[in-house]
Amino acid sequence: MESQLPAEFAVNVDHEKCRRCKRCVINCSFGAIEFKDKVTPNSRLCVACHRCATFCPESAITITENPLDYKYGYNWTPEIRKNILKQAESGGIILTGMGNPKPYPIYWDHMLIDACQVTNPSIDPLREPMELRTYLGAKPDSLKFDENISLATELAPQVKLDIPIVFAAMSYGAISLNAHKALAMAATRMGTLMNTGEGGLHEEIAPYSDRIIVQVASGRFGVTSKYLNRSAAVEIKIGQGAKPGIGGHLPGEKVGEDISKTRMIPVGTDALSPAPHHDIYSIEDLSQLIYAIKETTDYKKPVSVKIAAVHNVAAIASGIVRAGADIVMLDGFRGGTGAAPMVIRDHVGIPIELALAAVDERLRQEGIRNRASILVGGSIRQSADVVKAIALGADACVIGTASLIAMGCRVCQKCYTGNCAWGIATQKPELVRRLNPEVAADRLCNLLTAWGHEIQEVLGSLGINAIESLRGSRERLRGVGLPQEALDILGIKHAGIGQ
């Protein structure tokens, strides 16, 4: 069937500037630029990944949204019309990548942070000690000491974080080995963690395993006793913010020989994770898997349970903690993905800000907040989001998309095609080679270093010298432009109200 779909972008080449070096042709992994006497773009294939424009030595390429106006309709937006055309031509579920781009309210941007003035002194973070260190793991209800004042309480396993920002779970399969290496190296250098996601651990990043959370998802790809023991912590993935309630989906385009080996599935097949873990249909079953992992790791690794933020998240989180998890990982509806049906990504789940506030409050009310650390992700975009999340009650944040952007990602949302021009969300050797793990690791370290300094600046202005002093300190946040109900759920006052 001939497609009626118009091009999404328009690629323009300034032939006055172009010196026909063909670098753009070589760099475009979507086949959108050819050379026929001169550089000739095929705008229909362009995804706006900016690879050509970035590498054009003459800055001769511009990419704009295709300036094709539609008859105005507030209801029938061009995007909706284009989706209908696509489905009328194919009969397929629309697959997409990255996080939810829809203009739902972003609560982070409606919260403001307090600062010290006159009556309480602020701290200068450049010249005074300022601690970002925190520990993930279950904390005891109380501490007991023997007669020599040595700690007598047996502590649950803890993972030390030098900065309260962890790299999010992104599987080897969804992203390349070079991207995994960069994340592992950066996590090791910065004293934080990366997360394998559900695709297993490649031998080449095993040396960094002290700084790696290994994931156990419903497909159980790459999960062995060795895998569980070579880790900083183990995470049971129940859900993902971008696609709550549905399983993982690694399109066959990305399942080459090496992925086939780590996942133990045939080459070219779609790697399908079942929607639920078929051995988990209840909190009791979840507990069974948590303790299966604890038995296998001799109770030496904290066990995390990751869920998508959904309506009943607070009650579910309470069950997770009672089931024996040491860490609860909450992923908001804006979280990223390598591949998800658009209908799920754009319409299912709840914002992480509200989920976090609800979970922290519920665990406090039940007196079990100390029994698990809370990690949150699902669109942490900047250091301010980290500070606000911790003030709402998180122990630390996870960043996925932000870390990919740091490595070069342009958020073109085409991860599922396996054609990532930046060597990140691809398994094609010629593209993977484009991402230098050393350089990408430097970029990730720079990002965390910058955010770390910014968090210290904010802590200083708040007059506190440790990130742990901020945790759950909602009094230091105020809401702007939020309805009372949202303020109540967030547990914050409206701006303008004093103590």
Q: Which residues bind other proteins (CB under 8 A)?
A: 86-87, 89-95, 218-221, 223-226, 228-229, 251-252, 260-261, 263-266, 268-270, 272, 274, 278-279, 288, 291-292, 295-298, 341, 414, 416-417
Give the H/E segment covering residue 353.
helix 352-365
Cβ atoms of 275 and 244 within 8 Å: the answer is: no
Specify the residue, 38 or 261, whose C-beta has the smaller distance to other proteins: 261
Q: How far is the CB of 30 from other proteins (least distance, A)?
A: 11
Q: How far is the CB of 270 from other proteins (least distance, A)?
A: 5
Specify the residue, 64 or 269, whose C-beta has the smaller distance to other proteins: 269
Specify the residue, 301 or 369, whose C-beta has the smaller distance to other proteins: 301
Cα angle 362, 303, 316 (rounded to 5 degrees) comes to 30
DSSP codes, 33-82: EEEESEEEE-GGG-----HHHHH-TT--EEEEE--------SSS-HHHHH
Q: How far is the CB of 430 from other proteins (least distance, A)?
A: 21
Tokens 């007196």 — which residue?
Answer: 367
SS3 of 375, please?
strand
Specify the residue, 294 or 410, whose C-beta has the smaller distance to other proteins: 294
Q: How far is the CB of 297 from other proteins (least distance, A)?
A: 7
Specify the residue, 92 or 121, whose C-beta has the smaller distance to other proteins: 92
Cβ atoms of 406 and 450 within 8 Å: the answer is: no
Measuring CA to CA, which residue among 9, 56, 8, 5 is closest to residue 28?
56
Measuring CA to CA, which residue among 123, 152, 29, 212 is closest to residue 456?
123
- Cβ-based neighbours of 41, under 8 Å, separated by 6 or more: 11, 12, 13, 32, 33, 34
Amino acid at site 261:
K
- Cβ-based neighbours of 412, under 8 Å, separated by 6 or more: 47, 48, 49, 50
Specify the residue, 114 or 270, whose C-beta has the smaller distance to other proteins: 270
Specify the residue, 36 or 278, whose C-beta has the smaller distance to other proteins: 278
Measuring CA to CA, which residue among 291, 293, 278 is closest to residue 218?
278
Measuring CA to CA, which residue among 290, 256, 284, 250 is closest to residue 270?
250
Tokens describing residue 249: 């989906």
- Cβ-based neighbours of 120, under 8 Å, separated by 6 or more: 463
Specify the residue, 226 or 494, whose C-beta has the smaller distance to other proteins: 226
Specify the residue, 84 or 115, whose C-beta has the smaller distance to other proteins: 84
Q: How far is the CB of 380 from other proteins (least distance, A)?
A: 28
Alpha-carbon separation of residue 89 from 3, 5, 38 (angstroms): 7, 9, 33
